[in-house]
């Protein structure tokens, strides 16, 4: 008998990192949301959870995709997309969508959604932890630990490297869900928040004291003690923070990148940090990951490096499941969906 069920294929399993493996409870909630006539096919083959989709496509994945109307994964590759002729909706559990925007996807009517807001809370907390790390001179203290040296003299002598967070200014370049979450926390600590957005509309955004379009970036960089990058990587933002932008930043400022590594010219940043033209940098993302052992960033004592781990959260699947279930309801009802990617703009 011919199988007439409609299919949602979910490829969200990681042998190495259980954090990124979809729990059975999520599959059950998706089945309940879809209702009769639907099958949730959860593929158990391991995948890559970095957001670019897995480059290795097991036969089980290709077989399942051939029947899929909906595909849930960590991005989707061109090969997998072409193997799924019935697709109408692709959902990525990653925040960025650039790797999924190959020409065939861009030209198709397939809906593409992402998970940008799901990561807002952990990334906002990562940002504030990094702000306080530099504000309280923990980089100087950590240097003392490595050298088994009591660093009081250095911390007191270079007191200008420390600052009260209250009363300082933070620029947030890219003011979507993550940017707003950072802004709210910064304001709660008494900081002044300058939001830089691709488009200005609807008045002052939540969590910001001032708002600017892209043309205001130069002015904002010169005013800010902390510059947070929370924007997607597109053709317009790749290399945005290079020698010129770094030269516009205050000498006591800190750059924090939690978005995508390609937005920052890492060679120019290493030069600025090495010559102490800026106070420091906190980096969770890099042009090449893992960061190569010969990168000059490893040798600098005024940089905080985390291995693209800022989004890790024990509550990830709780938030991700809520988003997916809500969007299943929107999809079935034919209504507006959440987190739809603008394929032209790239986010």
Q: What DSSP line would sit under 121-181, residue for residue?
A: HHHHHHHHHHHHHHHTTHHHHHHHHHTT---HHHHHHTGGG---STT-EEEEES-SHHHHH
- State whether 167 and 69 are in the same domain: no
Catalytic-residue membership of 330:
no
> Cα–chain-centroid distance for residue 202?
25
Residues 130 and 170 in one domain: yes
Nearest C-alpha neighbor of 67 from the set 6, 136, 16: 6
Model pLDDT, residue 49: 79
Is the Cβ–Cβ distance between 230 and 259 less than 8 Å?
yes
Do residues 71 and 147 both lie within one domain? Answer: no
**For this structure, is 308 an active site residue?**
yes
Residues 106 and 172 in one domain: no
The catalytic residue among 218, 288, 289, 318 is 289
Q: Domain holding 292: CATH number?
A: 3.40.50.720
What percentage of residues in the chain have a pLDDT greater than 90? Answer: 92
pLDDT exceeds cutoff 60 at 219: yes
The answer to the question of residue 273 being in a domain is yes
Is residue 338 a part of any domain in this protein?
no
pLDDT of residue 304: 99
pTM (whole model) above 0.75? yes
- The pLDDT value given to residue 326: 99
pLDDT band at 78 (very low <50, low <70, confident <90, very high): very high
* Residue 339 resides in a domain: no
pLDDT, tens digit (0-9, with 9 covering 90-100), for 247-258: 999 999 999 999
Instruction: Of 254, 184, 248, give the one whose Cα is nearest residue 226.
Output: 254
Domain count, the chain: 2
Catalytic (active site) residue 260: yes
Of 183 and 203, the one with more pLDDT: 183
Model pLDDT, residue 52: 67
Q: Under DSSP, is residue 272 helix (H, G, I), strand (E, B) or coil?
A: helix
* Residue 61 and residue 97 in one domain: yes
Provide mean pLDDT across the span 264-284: 99
Residue 323 confidence (pLDDT) above 70: yes
Tell me, yes or no, whether 179 lies in a domain. Answer: yes
Task: Band the pLDDT of 201: cuts 50, 70, 90.
Answer: confident
Query: Does residue 342 lie within any of the structural domains?
Result: no
**Binning pLDDT at 50, 70 and 90, where does residue 51 land?**
low
Least confident of 105-114, 132-141, 156-165, 182-191: 156-165
Res 1: pLDDT = 54
Same domain, 179 and 284: yes
* Residues 25 and 154 both lie in one domain: no
Catalytic residue among 260, 266, 279, 320: 260
Burial class of residue 296 in the structure, from the number of CB atoms within 10 Å of its CB (0-12 exposed, 13-18 middle, 19+ buried): middle
The pLDDT score that the predictor gives to residue 7 is 98
- Is the pLDDT at 101 greater than 60? The verdict is yes
Domain that holds residue 196: 120-305
Average pLDDT score over residue span 132-142: 97
On the question of pLDDT at 279 being above 60, the answer is yes
Same domain, 295 and 151: yes
Banded pLDDT at 158 (limits 50, 70, 90): confident
The band of 160, judged by pLDDT with boundaries at 50, 70 and 90, is confident
Considering the domain architecture, whether residues 213 and 319 belong to the same structural domain is answered as no
Q: Are residues 198 and 301 in the same domain?
A: yes
181 inside domain: yes
Q: Is the pLDDT of residue 54 over 80?
A: no
Same domain? 287 vs 324:
no
**Is residue 191 in some structural domain?**
yes
Instruction: Identify whether the C-beta of residue 241 lies closer than 8 Å to the C-beta of residue 269.
Output: yes
pLDDT of residue 53: 67
* 163 and 74 together in one domain: no
Share of the chain above pLDDT 70, in %: 99
Q: Which entry of 185, 192, 308, 320 is annotated as an active-site residue? A: 308
341 found inside a domain: no
Of the candidates 156, 122, 155, the one whose C-alpha atom is nearest the C-alpha of residue 139 is 155
């Amino acid at each position: 008998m011919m199988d007439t069920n409609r299919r949602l294929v979910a490829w969200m399993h990681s042998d190495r990192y259980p954090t990124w493996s979809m729990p059975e409870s999520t599959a059950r909630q998706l089945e309940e949301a879809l209702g009769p006539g639907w099958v949730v096919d959860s593929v158990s083959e391991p995948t890559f959870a970095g957001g670019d989709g897995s480059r290795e496509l097991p036969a089980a994945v290709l077989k399942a995709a051939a029947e899929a109307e909906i595909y849930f994964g960590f991005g989707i590759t061109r090969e997998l997309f072409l193997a799924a002729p019935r697709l109408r909706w692709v959902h990525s559990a990653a925040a960025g969508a650039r790797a999924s925007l190959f020409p065939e996807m861009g030209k198709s009517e397939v809906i593409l959604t992402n998970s940008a807001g799901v990561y807002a809370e952990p990334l906002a907390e990562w940002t504030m932890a990094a702000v306080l790390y530099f504000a309280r001179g923990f980089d100087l203290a950590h240097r003392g630990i490595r050298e088994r040296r009591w660093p009081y003299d250095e911390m007191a002598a270079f007191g200008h490297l420390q600052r009260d967070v209250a009363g300082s200014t933070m620029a947030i370049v890219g003011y979507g869900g993550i940017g707003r979450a950072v802004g709210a926390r910064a304001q709660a600590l008494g900081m002044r928040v300058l939001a830089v957005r691709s488009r200005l509309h609807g008045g002052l955004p939540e969590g910001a004291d001032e708002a600017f379009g892209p043309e205001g970036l130069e002015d904002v960089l010169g005013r800010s003690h902390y510059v947070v990058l929370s924007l997607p990587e597109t053709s317009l933002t790749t290399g945005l923070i290079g020698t010129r932008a770094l030269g516009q930043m205050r000498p006591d400022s800190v750059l924090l990148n939690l978005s995508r590594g390609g937005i920052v010219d890492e060679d120019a940043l290493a030069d600025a940090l090495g010559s102490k033209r800026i106070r420091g940098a906190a980096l969770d993302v890099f042009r090449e990951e893992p960061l190569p052992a010969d990168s000059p960033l490893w040798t600098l004592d005024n940089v905080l490096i985390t291995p693209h781990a800022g989004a890790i959260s024990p509550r990830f699947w709780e938030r991700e499941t809520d988003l997916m279930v809500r969007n299943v309801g929107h999809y079935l009802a034919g209504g507006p969906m959440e987190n739809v990617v603008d394929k032209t703009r790239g986010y």
